[in-house]
Every structure is written in C-alpha cells, then in structure tokens.
C-alpha cells in the first residue's frame, strides 16, 4: 500500500466532499444503496457487516456519492465492491 499516494488523493479531494469509514448510519443510508444494493448484501445484516466487513464512503452534502466496501470475505481475503455516482454538480471528480 502506497501511503503517500493515498495521502495525495485525500488532499486533492475538493472541500465540499468528505471521506469517512462507513458506520452503521452510513451503511443504512438510502444514498449508499442507490449506488449499489451489493455493498452489504453478502452479510446477514448491517450489524454483521459492521462486525466483519469494512468500507469507506465519500459524501457530498451528506449524500454518499462514492463508496467501496468488502463485498464478501473468505479465509484468504476479501472481494471489494466499488461504485460511484456522477458528480452532483455535473463535474467529474478526478483525483491525481
């Protein structure tokens, strides 16, 4: 994992966006499930996802517009689900 690259991406995020680890509230948010119904679908419940899964979301004005979560988990790793919504202001969110 290239921590410098990740820090670069985070610092390039426009001010009106915020990144956060997915918590129970975000995992339940309609805007997350509008991006993809699969973010937590392989888990028994949102509580199960919170206990065994992981995910991060980028929010714009409180709405999830980009997210990545562990789609499924197994002994040797995880599968990752990633989805994004077109920028709400008609711009592409392009990070370096």
DSSP string, 44-73: SSHHHHHHH--EEEEEETTEEEEEEEEEEE
Q: Structure pTM?
A: 0.80
Residue 42 clears pLDDT 70, i.e. is over it: yes
pLDDT band at 29 (very low <50, low <70, confident <90, very high): very high
- Can you name the residues that pair with 11 across neighbouring β-strands? none
Query: Where are the chain's structural domains?
Result: 16-84
Domain 16-84 is found in CATH 3.20.20.140: no
Total Cβ atoms within 10 A of residue 31: 17
pLDDT band at 96 (very low <50, low <70, confident <90, very high): very low
Chain centre to alpha carbon of residue 41: 14
């Amino acid at each position: 994992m290239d921590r410098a690259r990740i820090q670069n991406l985070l610092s390039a995020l426009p001010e009106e966006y915020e990144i956060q680890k997915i918590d129970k509230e975000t995992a339940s948010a309609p805007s997350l499930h509008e991006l993809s119904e699969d973010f937590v679908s392989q888990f028994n419940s949102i509580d199960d996802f919170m206990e065994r899964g992981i995910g991060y979301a980028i929010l714009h004005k409180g709405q999830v517009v980009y997210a990545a979560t562990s789609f499924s988990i197994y002994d040797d790793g995880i599968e990752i689900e990633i989805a994004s919504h077109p920028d709400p202001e008609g711009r592409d969110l392009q990070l370096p």
